[in-house]
Chain A
Amino acid sequence: MPERSYLGEMELMVLLAVVRLGDDAYGVPISKELLNLAGREVALGSVYAALDRLQEKGFVTSALGDPTPERGGRAKRYFRVTPAGLRALRMTRTALSNLWSGIPLLEGKRS
């Protein structure tokens, strides 16, 4: 399928969480960030599905960390935003800002 260069809602939120978390962006903190800042309780499987799509689009890269005992000897997979991911975020913000502007109903100015 020709790859989409725009972001779906879940992809946008997950990508923003990855940017906010910087070097500590893996599944658990990303899902906590979505809960704390966006009020969304997202299953970890859905977070990974979104990260998988973002990686397919070239918006994030990933690398395995070291296995730790508190995770049953499983390694963390850390994600990092790419320049293409940052470009997609800026384009999405511009598009959303354009759509939001000039709507009195949403700005509390009922005419």
Chain B
Amino acid sequence: MSGQKSNPPRQAIWLLQHACPGSDKEALTGDLIERFREGQSRVWFWKQVLIAIAVGVLGEIRRHWPHFSYAIAGTAMPAFLWKTVEGVPAVLHWYALPWPWSQLAFELSRPALLALAALPVLAAALVINGSFRWVGLLQTGMINLALIILGHYLLGLLDAFPWLLRPVPGNPYLFTILILPPPSLELLFFSSFLVSAWLGCRSPRHADEFERRARS
């Protein structure tokens, strides 16, 4: 058998190693190479790799469904809550606070309220999942707040590039929206909520239990 024929596609192996979630990647790669050297085709190898990645991603969603519920709820909320949240500082007279508190309230109130709004969804999902911890919830809220504020200021930097912005129809003075594909902001929100839940709610205790069970 020639070297070309006995060697599986390197790009597929790289993809499997880097894009497939799970801890059995080495064994899975070895199995695929073994089958390939038994006579399976390169198309078969690629198909197996793509299926393994898809199955791995679905498994991660199944395993971390509370985090995904939180991210979906958090991504959907700005569409419904933005106007409500926008009015909160005025209703509570936060603008009347002395500087810099009024500025902080103006800048941070909306991100803070958005970060908090989806937490009940995460709490409910974690309770159903049997992995609720107050510390995890608090950490998630704080991390998400930090990420939303960071995103808020990073997007604010785009004011330095006016050709990237355009006025909102009917209100050209106060608001501008980015010339980005429509789902971009939603993807940013989704990523922020997902990353914060993943970082905030990681439970070393569960990992230890899993290891102990695996060893027994």
* Chain A residues within 8 Å of B, Cβ to Cβ: 1-2, 26-28, 31, 43-46, 48-49, 51-52, 55-56, 58, 61-62, 64, 67-68, 70-72, 74-77, 82
Given contact pairs A45-B56, A48-B22, A72 touches B30 in the complex (Cβ within 8 A)? yes
Interface of B is mostly: helix
Interface contact A28-B214, CB-CB below 8 Å: no
Question: Contact partner of A56 among B48, B129, B210, CB < 8 A?
Answer: B210
> Which single residue of chain A is at the shortest CB-CB distance from B129?
A1
Interface contact B52-A45, CB-CB below 8 Å: yes
Interface contact B213-A74, CB-CB below 8 Å: no
Interface contact A61-B215, CB-CB below 8 Å: yes
- CB neighbours of A62 from chain B (8 A): 214
- CB neighbours of A76 from chain B (8 A): 27, 30-31
Interface contact B31-A26, CB-CB below 8 Å: yes
Question: Contact partner of A43 among B22, B34, B51, B59, CB < 8 A?
Answer: B51
> Which single residue of chain B is at the shortest CB-CB distance from A49?
B55
Write the nearest CB–CB distance from A78 to chain B, whole angstroms. 9
Count of chain A to chain B residue pairs whose CB atoms are closer than 8 Å in the complex? 90
Interface contact A1-B28, CB-CB below 8 Å: no
Interface contact B28-A44, CB-CB below 8 Å: yes
A–B Cβ pairs within 8 angstroms, 30 of them:
A26-B27, A26-B31, A27-B27, A31-B31, A43-B55, A44-B31, A44-B48, A44-B52, A45-B20, A45-B28, A45-B48, A48-B24, A48-B28, A48-B52, A48-B55, A49-B22, A49-B56, A52-B22, A55-B214, A58-B213, A61-B214, A61-B216, A70-B37, A72-B8, A74-B26, A74-B27, A74-B29, A75-B26, A75-B30, A77-B27
- CB neighbours of A71 from chain B (8 A): 30-31, 33-34
Interface contact A75-B55, CB-CB below 8 Å: no
- CB neighbours of A67 from chain B (8 A): 30
Question: Contact partner of B29 among A43, A51, A68, A72, CB < 8 A?
Answer: A72
Cβ of B180 under 8 Å from chain A: no
- CB neighbours of B20 from chain A (8 A): 45
Q: How far is the CA of A71 from the CA of B36 in the complex (A)?
A: 9
- CB neighbours of A68 from chain B (8 A): 30
**Interface flags, B58-86, vs A, CB<8A=1, else 0:** 01000001000000000000000000000
Q: How far is the CA of A44 from the CA of B56 in the complex (A)?
A: 11
- CB neighbours of A72 from chain B (8 A): 8, 13, 29-30, 33
> Which single residue of chain B is at the shortest CB-CB distance from A30?
B31
Q: How far is the CA of A58 from the CA of B212 in the complex (A)?
A: 10
17 new A-B contacts, CB < 8 A, other than A26-B27, A74-B26, are A26-B31, A27-B27, A27-B28, A28-B34, A43-B51, A43-B55, A44-B31, A45-B20, A45-B28, A45-B53, A45-B54, A52-B22, A61-B216, A72-B29, A72-B33, A74-B27, A76-B30
